Structure 1
């Protein structure tokens, strides 16, 4: 029946929604330099695997402010 198909579809959407990966707020220096996916832990998995000291340095975001002349 069409009712059971609708339920299956909505259940699938719920599962897909839960799979959205969360972005790590900041990558460690090693992962950033190598452009690797950093897990964001105090000592990330990439640094543990390589026996490196894992260090995080904050990156300052430059916010572009709108000027008066911009529409």
Structure 2
């Protein structure tokens, strides 16, 4: 391999302070709506989520009861 090939494969990234790059973790939605929960889909947690809006259905959120 040439020097150019090595530099393209080196994906480590450091800040100027010497800190290493950490990928950003996506935020979790606190609760999914009934439709998304039933279909096991990703819910964006908005008052009317994108999935329900796209399908033209009512978007409702019901808290999950804690089970022991």
TM-score w.r.t. structure 2 length?
0.68
- Equivalent-residue separation in structure 2 for 1:29 and 1:6 (angstroms): 41
Q: Which runs of 5+ in 2 are unaligned?
A: 1-11
Higher helix share: 1
What is the total number of aligned residue pairs between the two structures? 55
Whether 2:59 is the aligned partner of 1:54: answer: yes
Residue 14 of structure 2, aligned match among 7, 24, 29: 7
TM-score w.r.t. structure 1 length?
0.65
Question: What are the equivalent positions in structure 2 for 1:1-71 lying under 5 Å apart?
Answer: 7-8=14-15, 10-13=19-22, 16=23, 19-62=24-67, 64=68
2:13–2:21 Cα contact (<8 Å) kept = no
Q: Which runs of 5+ in 1 are unaligned?
A: 65-71
